[in-house]
A = this chain, B = another copy of it.
Amino acid sequence: VTAGTAAPAAWVNGEPLGEISVLDRGLHYADGLFETIACPHGAPRLLARHLARLTGGCARLHLPAPDPEQLSAEICAAAAGPSAIVKLIVSRGRALARGYAATGAESPTRIMLRYPWAGEDPSLGEAGVRVRIADLRLGENPALAGLKTLNRLEQVLARAEWHDPSIAESLLFSSSGTLVSGTMSNVFLVHQGRLSTPRLERCGVAGVMRALVSELAAACGIDCTERALTELELQAAQEVFLTNAVIGLRPVRELAGVTLAVGPVTRRLQQALAGRLHGTEGEHA
């Protein structure tokens, strides 16, 4: 999901600014978190879920969370107008001393970027995408697992493994050999009509779309479990699909060169998700 090269609009701590201090701990230590929020037609989608994940992540990093009401207002202001993707970064703020230790007196930095967005290409949701398997394996750390931290160098290296634009994503295993996610998406497998997605207690990002799709599966009567998944279980899947907050749910039509059907569980969940995201019961705040 790569937008054009036009610079996005930017705000720092609510002010229209394009720069931050060279002392920011986000830069020095990846000491912060981010959210990427799809904002179709001016409205931030799944905003409450994004804010809840951010606030929970701040607590786990002992980072004073910005006021969610203020964040919400700033995100809505950034989202106003044509469809956009709003990226929010919250770092621990300017370093007050040299070294890893925070003094506790740091003031978090809020960085908001607004990227123009044409919206999802419906043909990808219809036909599905081609996916490969990454060579890189993700390190495991329960202290960071589930969080959307600024520690993204593994994803950068994994994304640098391929240049073929017809391949949309790469699936990653962890250092201990279990399936985790794509570089920028979560993954679900279907075996005999049952849905599963990797447990994220040792690495990975607890995606807002992953959680929503799990809930929709339950509502549709589709059995869905979070568990450790092996390479063999990935190969044995009858259906595979990806999720993230921007792409929604995207079927995989080819995995490591093997053609996959876009099957009935995937289609049922796409339908349920479209109803949730575009229907009258939408969750827009």
Contact = CB atoms under 8 A, between A and B. Distances in A.
A183 B139 contact: no
B153 A144 contact: yes
B141 A99 contact: no
Contacts of A111: 22, 27
- Max chain B CB contacts within 10 Å: which of A139, A157, A175? A139
A28 B143 contact: no
Contacts of A87: 98
Contact of A151 (B5, B10, B151, B203): B151
Contacts of A8: 23, 98
Nearest to A157: B143
B30 A22 contact: no
A20 B176 CA distance: 38
B100 A28 contact: no
- Max chain B CB contacts within 10 Å: which of A20, A98, A144, A155? A98
A188 interface: no
* Copies of this protein, total: 2
Interface in A89-115: 89, 91, 96-103, 111, 113, 115
A136 interface: yes
A141 B152 contact: no
Contact of A100 (B21, B34, B159): B159
A5 B97 CA distance: 5
A87 B157 CA distance: 24
Contact of A152 (B17, B21, B29): B29
A4 B97 contact: yes
A65 to B, nearest CB: 16
